A and B are shown apart, each in its own frame.
Chain A
Amino acid sequence: MQFIKPLKFFILASLLVFPILFNQIGMSFYLDLATRLCILAIAAVGLNLILGYGGMISFGHAAYLGLGAYAVGIPAHHWLYGGLDFLATTNGFVHILIAIAISGLFALLTGLICLKTKGVYFIMITMAFSQMAYYLFVSIEEYGGDDGLVINTRSEIPLINLDDPIQMFLVSFSSLIFFMWLVHLITKSNFGLILSGIKDNEARMVSLGYNVYFHKLIAFIFSGIICGFAGVLLGNFTTFISPEMIDWSRSGELMFMVILGGVATVMGPLFGAIVFVILEEVLSSITIYWHLPFGLLLITVVLFFRGGLSSLFSK
């Protein structure tokens, strides 16, 4: 186990250094790719908290990415085009606060219902609620409906200029490190131990006197907020926010990252995101029908490789 640590450090360091180097020699494409990778990895870290450590298989986490992105898009939209003055702002802190509040609230309300159920019910209900968010944004014409929302501005944070691709990348990268560290802390804490206890044997935790429902709900909300934060970055990165972000195939891709990387590991979501983004890039440059090889690969992984990439590394 010990020899892996330098390897992990090496991966993180190259993720930080190479995109910037490439950008300096004029290949800004790789910087964009790395920024997207970091943002998706944050969302995967958030999902891993409940899926990996808590055993709650949520198929609806793209909803939080979308909510976070709209928390940037809607205030920016009103700031640009008027209406709803109390909401109109480009202040990044306000965007983040809205994103945290909305994704936390959405997680609380849906979690209250989802967490009463288990297994397949839970998978399907999380999926249904994210689809509800999808249809909600499709039906609001003010914010572009199906076509999405184009904002020609980004969140303003003191001393940071998100319009600069390198700073955008650095913010995403450091957020990723922060959330990986935060989730690591959570899982090592008393709370995290209770959570994995629930994953292993829920009945035992109930009889030991823990309030299982409450602990799961808190983890569910935390996980939603992390993905909501990733959504804020995603909205700033693309400046184009559409219901497509909430589509359930996005949720499926997030799950793919977490599972492929290896559940319940600190680095797993990052590995998964790296593999996913590279696969997507390579396959879609070969053929526009890249979903075909990707789907076949997914089936192969499920049928023949269990435990994800992390298990290969730690052998």
Chain B
Amino acid sequence: MDYTLLLIQVLNGLQLGVLLFLVASGLTLVFGILDFVNLAHGSIYMLGAFVCASLTYALDSYLLAVILALPIIGIIGYVFEVFLARPLYSRDHLDHVLGTFGAILVIDTIAHLIWGPAGIAIPLPNYLDGQIKISENIELPTFRVLIIIVGLLAAFGLLWLVNFTRLGMLIRAGASNRTMVSALGIDIRTLFAIVFAIGATLAGMAGMLIAPITEASLGMGNNVIITAFVVIIVGGIGSVKGALVAALLIGLIDTLGRAFLDDFFKIFMSTAAAENSAPAISSMSIYLIMALILSFKPNGLFPPRLR
């Protein structure tokens, strides 16, 4: 086995994992606290990538673009909450799904109108585009390492925010009894809008981080959202910690499956059979894992306590 290749693939898996976490954490927060299903979360991820791409070309700096794009996406999330999500909180999940499905169509088409059908690549500045030399023959791409670090920082920042700050305390209180919190004089509607905006910002950030690698494209949101669903189902809907564990698990399984499953199958199959079946199985691997976990734990790995 080639250990350099394995290391690179593990790194790719981690990178996918942290990006998935950034998308899934917003979903799971919004669901856990607001009991709201937001299919359009992936579209916000896509908007993050496109806004960042435009700003990168306008400002000629990727870093400045990200710093400016984050609050823009946060505001978009806030507006989305006020106009679409808020009227639907009191409805059942079916209405959430249909309403946000409509929002996907609207946001995707608007993105199509503004940015055109082709993807937009984002150039990286030189200091991010290089390699980090770890040892004699192992080099890691700087930007991928950076994604993992930023993603993990965001993950722990979010856990800290929810568990150890006053805002987090209010959010948790609002989740368990919103009437009581608002009776105590907290503006619960603004609080919920802030939660929504935080979730949107995290998803947008994931889009901004992945765009220099894959480019910003129209279908990217819809590709990521289902995987993010798998992550929060496996992690337990509403649990930020569960989302982190599940995102890393799913990211690693998906990446390593695509990279090594055919080699693994060759151990006990003919080469031709392995090469035919491996892509099919690896493309299904995360769903099979989800099915496996759910048949043992129907509420996910870290089901939030009943309230």
Binding site for B on A (CB under 8 A): 57, 59, 110, 112-113, 116-117, 119-121, 123-125, 127-129, 131-132, 135-136, 138-142, 248-249, 252, 255-256, 259, 289, 291-292, 294-299, 301-303, 306
Contact = CB atoms under 8 A, between A and B. Distances in A.
Given A289-B109, A289-B112, A129 B97 contact: no
Contacts of A121: 233, 237, 298-299
A295 B237 contact: no
Interface in B35-92: 37, 84, 87-88
A302 B229 contact: no
Contacts of A135: 283-284
Nearest to B98: A302
A299 B37 contact: no
Would you call the interface of chain A mostly helix, strand, loop, or mixed? helix
Given A298-B101, A302-B88, A139 B279 contact: yes
A217 to B, nearest CB: 14
A285 to B, nearest CB: 16
Contacts of A301: 98
Contact of B98 (A129, A131, A140, A256): A256
20 contacts: A57-B97, A116-B298, A117-B298, A117-B299, A124-B37, A124-B232, A124-B233, A127-B229, A249-B104, A249-B105, A252-B101, A255-B101, A289-B113, A291-B109, A292-B105, A294-B102, A295-B106, A296-B102, A299-B84, A303-B99
Contacts of B287: 128-129, 131-132
A259 B98 contact: yes
B103 A295 contact: yes
Given A125-B233, A132-B284, A296-B102, A113 B109 contact: no
A259 B101 CA distance: 13
A147 to B, nearest CB: 15
A303 to B, nearest CB: 6
Interface stretch (B12-20, B136-144, B158-166, B288-296): B288-296
A182 B280 CA distance: 36
Given A121-B233, A124-B233, A136-B283, A298 B102 contact: yes
8 smallest A-B Cβ distances: which pairs?
A295-B105, A298-B102, A132-B287, A295-B106, A292-B109, A299-B102, A135-B283, A302-B99
Nearest to A122: B93
Contact of A296 (B97, B106, B113, B276): B106
A299 B95 CA distance: 9
Contacts of A116: 294-295, 298
Nearest to A141: B279
Contacts of B229: 124, 127-128
Contacts of B301: none
A302 B294 contact: no
A255 B98 CA distance: 8
Interface of B: 31, 37, 84, 87-88, 93-95, 97-99, 101-106, 108-110, 112-113, 222, 226, 229-230, 232-233, 237, 276, 279-280, 282-284, 287-288, 290-291, 294-295, 298-299
A248 B222 contact: yes
Contacts, number: 123
B33 to A, nearest CB: 13
Contacts of A141: 279
Contacts of B102: 294-299, 302
Contacts of A125: 233, 290, 294
Given A128-B233, A136-B280, A295-B104, A57 B95 contact: no
A129 B289 CA distance: 11
Contacts of A119: 93
Given A136-B283, A139-B283, A123 B93 contact: yes
Given A117-B294, A124-B229, A127-B229, A140 B280 contact: yes
Contacts of A255: 97-98, 101
A291 B105 contact: yes
A57 B28 CA distance: 20
A152 B233 CA distance: 42
Contacts of B230: 128
B97 A123 contact: yes
A289 B218 CA distance: 13
A116 B287 CA distance: 16
A299 B284 contact: no
Contacts of B233: 121, 124-125, 128
A150 B229 CA distance: 32
Contacts of B31: 120
A84 to B, nearest CB: 13
B106 A292 contact: yes
A71 to B, nearest CB: 17
B295 A113 contact: yes
A306 B95 CA distance: 9
B97 A59 contact: yes
A131 B290 CA distance: 13
B99 A248 contact: no
A120 B222 contact: no
A102 to B, nearest CB: 15
A256 B106 CA distance: 15
A7 to B, nearest CB: 26
B71 to A, nearest CB: 25
A135 B227 CA distance: 12
B283 A57 contact: no
Contacts of B284: 132, 135-136
